[in-house]
Each structure stands twice: as structure tokens, then as C-alpha cells.
Structure 1
Amino acid sequence: MARRAICLKGTYLQDHLSDLKRKHIDVTGRFGFKRRPYGEQQSSDTAKFRVVGVRNEGTDDYHLYVMNLPDGFTPEQVAALYSLRWKVELLFRELKSRYGLGKFETGNKAIAELLVVAALLTLLVSGALLAVFQKLDPDVEYPVERWATD
């Protein structure tokens, strides 16, 4: 199936999103950025990145991903990969905020490793217990975000 290409050169992708009806977008974009200051000077530069968009059928919006992954990754694979990455980010946020990994009160490596293992075990056991209770009584709503801390 042939696709109709739209020339985006010299424009902003954001300006075209509302007009697009395709399932995927896969383009190369140039992004401007400021380099770290060196002495008294700070220079600007540009870099090229791949931009993949996957249409969310529910909201009719695009989920856009800016990356340096090669073209061998399909838009579906990119979306799945970034979905997993986001889950990892949320897991670390939960471990830091609810399981005490936000700040260690020790400089001892062995104790720090033990605290990480304890937090991971608490997370796993808490999640397993929550699943058991939800299965036993599906009508009861358990506040997932407060399960391990209350």
C-alpha cells in the first residue's frame, strides 16, 4: 500500500498533527539545544533524531517518541518499548516514595544493598497480597497507592 508523503521540511511537526489521519508517523527531525556553559560562553547546536508517532485510537491523538533508535524498530515496537520504559519509571518512583529508596541514611554499601532488596521484596509481597485480597472480595476497592504504607 503506497503512502502519501507530506513535506515537513522547515516546519514544525506539531503544526501538522491535527491534519494527519494516518496510524503512524515516522520522520527525522532536527532539534535545537544549548550546550553546557564553557567558561563564560554557552553555545547552541542542533541534532537529528527519529520521531515516531503512534495514533491513540481512543483519544485520536498521537503519542510521540523522540529517539535515536534505528529504523529497524517499527512504530509498534517503539510504542511497546517506551510503554515498558514508562512502567520502569513508575516502579522506581514507587520504590522511592513508598518503600524508602528516596534517600539512604547510610554510606555502607552492604546496608544500602540490603535496603534495596528489602524494598523490592516488600513491593513484591505487597502486590501479591493485594492481588489475593482483590480476588477474594472483588467488590471491595483497595487503594493500590496506599496498600503497602498503611
Structure 2
Amino acid sequence: MFDLGYLDYDRLGRIDAKRQTINVTATVGADRPGLHLPYNLRVIGVRHEDDEDAPVYRDDVDADHEYHLYATNLSAEAIAPRELAALYSNRWSVETVIQECKEVFGLEVIPVHQEAAVMCFLLAALLMLLLSRCLLRRVRAVLIPAAPDSVEEASLFGSRLLVE
């Protein structure tokens, strides 16, 4: 499918029409000796689940692409493309929660050293984060009413039950 930078657009179109995943393995740095070279790199393209029935050309949606690309050194036998996409999605969620805790609640340095105290401190921070997101969602709903089919209206945590 890929040869020296050549992309077979016909084949990519057929993959897209059949809603398949793109799964390519390449050897990086095979011609250069080095400490960590050469190694196999696997690039996977997974069609975005939410765009299954969306038209091909959309000007009204601010989305990056219909396919999400992932690069990994895990072999095809180790993990399937959709599993890898779910793994990266979960990893990204954890990283954004940690980043938000650091920025909003000042958790750059945890001021305690005992393991039990650290766990208590982190659980309290996660609880504050959950409550702040719930309150933010409710304030946004009051100040800026969302469209009926908006993602903002759907909540996995049942925000109405938490607030009311």
C-alpha cells in the first residue's frame, strides 16, 4: 500500500468505503545503525465511531478527520486496531485529568509523604474535579442552552441526579 512515500488513493478509498481499519507496519532507521535502531513502527487508522452515518464532506462540523491515526510499537498479534484506539483514548483521558488536577487544584507537588495520606489527597482532588465538572456542566446548560442533540446534554454520570 505504501512504497517510498507513494499512497495508493484508490486503495484508501476502498478501505474507507468498506469502513475498514488502516494497519501498516514499517521499519524505521533500517539503513542507519544506532542504539535503538532499527525498530518496527505500526501505524493504525481507525474510523471515528461517531461519524458512521455522517456525509463525506461537511463544512458545518469542526472535526480533524474521520480516521484517527495511532503509532505504536505493539505488534498486530498483541493488540487489535480498535483495542489500540480504546487504549489510547483511555490514556488520553487519564492524562487530561492529571493535567487538570495540576492546573486547577495546584497538584504540581503533593505536600504529604505517607502513602495513605497521598491516596487521601488524590481521592479528594479527584472528587473536587468531578464536582467542579458537574457544576460547570450545569452552569453552561443554564447560561448557554445547547442544541437538543448536543453531546453536552448527555452525561455518563447522570449530572441531574448529582445536582438535584
2:90 — aligned with what?
84
Runs of at least 5 residues in structure 1 that lack an aligned partner in the other structure: 1-5, 34-41, 142-150
* SS at 1:45 equivalent: coil
Provide closer, same or farther for how the CA distance between residues 54 and 74 of structure 1 changes in structure 2, counting only shifts above 3 A: same
8 Å contact from structure 1 (residues 51, 65) kept in 2: yes
If each structure's helix is expressed as a fraction of its own residues, which one has the higher value?
2
The TM-score with structure 1 as length reference comes to: 0.60
Runs of at least 5 residues in structure 2 that lack an aligned partner in the other structure: 49-55, 57-62, 147-164
Moved over 6 A (4+): none
Tell me the distance in 2 between the aligned counterparts of 1:100 and 1:92.
Answer: 11
Aligned 1:64-103 pairs, distance under 5 A? 64-67=69-72, 68-71=74-77, 73-103=79-109
Tell me the distance in 2 between the aligned counterparts of 1:115 and 1:16.
Answer: 53
8 Å contact from structure 2 (residues 2, 8) kept in 1: no
Name which of 26, 29, 43 aligns with 2:35.
43
Alignment RMSD (CA, Å): 3.3
Provide closer, same or farther for how the CA distance between residues 109 and 52 of structure 1 changes in structure 2, counting only shifts above 3 A: same
1:30 — aligned with what?
27
The TM-score with structure 2 as length reference comes to: 0.56
1:139 — aligned with what?
144
Provide the aligned length of Structure 1 versus Structure 2.
122
